[in-house]
Amino acid sequence: MLIVKKFGGSSVADKDRIFNVAKRCIEDYQAGHDVVVVLSAMGKTTDGLIAKAKEVNPRPSKREMDMLLSTGEQVSVAMMAMAMGSLGVPAISLNAFQVAMHTNSQYGNSRLKRIDAERIFTELENRKIVIVTGFQGVNKYDDLTTLGRGGSDTTAVALAAALHADACEIFTDVDGVYTADPRIVPDARKMDEITYDEMLELASLGAKVLHNRSVELAKKYNVQLVVRSSLNRNEGTIVKEDVKMEKMLVSGVAVDKNAARVSLIGLKDEPGIAFSIFNELAKKGINVDMILQSIGRDNTKDISFTVPGTELQNAMDALNAKKENFTAKQITSRENVAKVSVVGAGMATNPGVAAKMFEALYNANINIKMISTSEIRITVLIDEKEADRAMKYIHDIFDLASN
Ligand code: ADP
Ligand code: ASP
Ligand code: MG
């Protein structure tokens, strides 16, 4: 069997954790399997590097940020290879360039385009454990790129697809995928299985246990994932196309605190305005979500939407530069908002889920600022300081707790 095993930052945070991971990988190796390991940077390294960059430049170039951030993963893979070496097992670390992992050129949020499998296969044939840097890639200019925060999961899934791996295991600091973030909702329940579609919604809406693009890739290439703890042997959660259980009305609740709202007030009420606004943002690669347009009155209208908080400054700059084009009287923004979502495949065929979610928010006396829905999710925008409480009330009203 060829097994891809990915370990996140907390799983390799210090010497003891590194040896713990090394030993788990060596077990598979000694059972005769080919083992490819994908690692994140140790502990909070990436956060530390971002803070360091801000000390010298509050708005550093994205290219230089990628140059800096990709160092974190290079430290952990080298350390892991050394740890395995000290345990007498042949291992080799490879960075994105050495593999090579080709991406497009969107620094800070690049997409994997192609992976060369040759070098990895050669090393596996030589009976080595191959340890690959997560999160990073290389573009057509031979520059280092990164896949976005949490992107090591995507590296792992892409490698599993490219290598036609028999298993892809994502090890983290919780036992699997829960009905809500177990750190915020202590009685959240671990799911045995979840569909790609539900997981994709949860991950896109703030459940950072998996990077959303890793789920997208897993679905596309039909890579079955197991999410489990690196610290115990519990079974974990399987992410796959179809689950055995009856489709849950609501399978989980997610919170995204990295949200910001932008409002354009007093726009001309005529064709082409929305196009020119969102085209400006698309050109800058800014993801827009939860779009709301008011009913036109006196030949003007307002448009509000959300962007990731980390993109707010870029969005405001792009819009202010073209303010005249869409005749906005005023452009405002608000950072301390959060998205709270419920996700469930059963929702598509069951009315009343939205009403129930709003009832929970009413019970909690929490005001809703925006609402958006898809077939299998409902999202509301609320004050950030209310987010955790909202999550608990919603989790409760849908009876998702473990007992
Ligand atoms: P890693 O460093 O291993 O990639 P992350 O911190 O990126 O780990 O993701 C794991 C974290 O995701 C957990 O510690 C948990 O707080 C958070 N999380 C958010 N939503 C969920 C959920 N629905 N199920 C499990 N964990 C979740
Ligand atoms: N080290 C990167 C981050 O902190 C990638 C990852 O952890 O997946 O975002
Ligand atoms: Mg992660």
Q: Which two tokens stand for residue 331?
A: 């452009």
The per-residue pLDDT for 327 is 83
Does residue 9 come out as left (phi exceeding 0), alpha (psi in the -120 to 50 range) or beta? Answer: alpha
- What pTM was computed for the model? 0.93
Tokens of 298: 């006196």
> Is residue 174 scored above 70 in pLDDT?
yes
Say what percent of the chain tops pLDDT 90: 88
Of residues 268, 244, 341, 285, the one with CA closest to residue 62: 285
pLDDT of the residue at 378: 95
Q: Is the pLDDT of residue 346 over 90?
A: no
Residue 203 in contact with residue 212, Cβ under 8 Å?
Answer: yes
d(CA 325, CA 392): 43
Per residue in 71-118, pLDDT (tens digit) is 999 999 999 999 999 999 999 999 999 999 999 999 999 999 999 999
* Cβ-defined contacts of 290-299 (< 8 Å, 24+): 290/339, 290/370, 290/372, 290/379, 290/381, 291/372, 292/370, 296/269, 299/268, 299/269, 299/270
For ligand 3, an ion, list residues with CB under 5 A: 8, 150
Among the residue ranges 21-35, 281-295, 376-390, the one predicted with the least confidence is 281-295
Is the previous residue joined to 254 through a cis bond, with omega within 30 degrees of 0? no
The torsion angles phi and psi of 43, rounded to 5 degrees, stand at 50, -130
User: Distance from the CA of 202 to the center of ligand 1, in angstroms?
Assistant: 11
More confident position, 328 or 72:
72
- What distance in angstroms lies between residue 172's CA and the mean position of ligand 1's atoms? 7
Q: What is the largest CA-CA distance in the chain?
A: 77
Q: pLDDT at residue 388 above 70? A: yes
Nearest-CA residue for atom 5 of ligand 2: 150
Ligand 1 atom with least separation from CA of 211 = 7
Angle of CA points 112, 283, 66, to nearest 5°? 45
- Give the pLDDT confidence score for residue 245 in this predicted structure: 66
